[in-house]
Amino acid sequence: MWGVNRDRSVRRGTVSQTDVKDLTMKYFFSSDLARRYGCGMAVYIAAQTSDLQRGIEATNARRKAAGRRLLADATVEEVISALRTNGVLPVEPSSRGADWSDADAIG
């Protein structure tokens, strides 16, 4: 993952432990996702990626304690691929893309 080092921020006290969950969600949301898939779907993708990352972090804590190798961090691309495989997203996005006005049609 890139950007804010959440563990260091929590240790320094600049981010409270309860804010880490919210920070992760903001961390995966991007305006590129909103432009490409619409605002509602971008929030959904960011939430799914955040959930996946929290699961990976919990698994890694158990694996580290057992002396096993750690899993790789989640990526937005993995979540988009899974959503396409499950039929939630079209296989290829439309050529025009989604713009902010498409949010009404989604939600």
Digitized pLDDT (tens) for each residue of the chain, 107 residues in all:
344 444 444 444 444 444 445 555 667 888 898 999 999 999 999 999 999 999 999 999 999 999 999 988 888 999 999 999 998 888 875 555 555 555 545 54
Asked whether the beta carbons of 75 and 46 are under 8 A apart, the reply is: no
Q: What is the pLDDT of residue 18?
A: 46
**Angstrom distance (rounded) from CA 53 to CA 64:** 16
Q: How many CB atoms lie within 10 A of CB 79?
A: 23
* Rounded-to-integer distance, Cα 35 and Cα 48, Å: 18
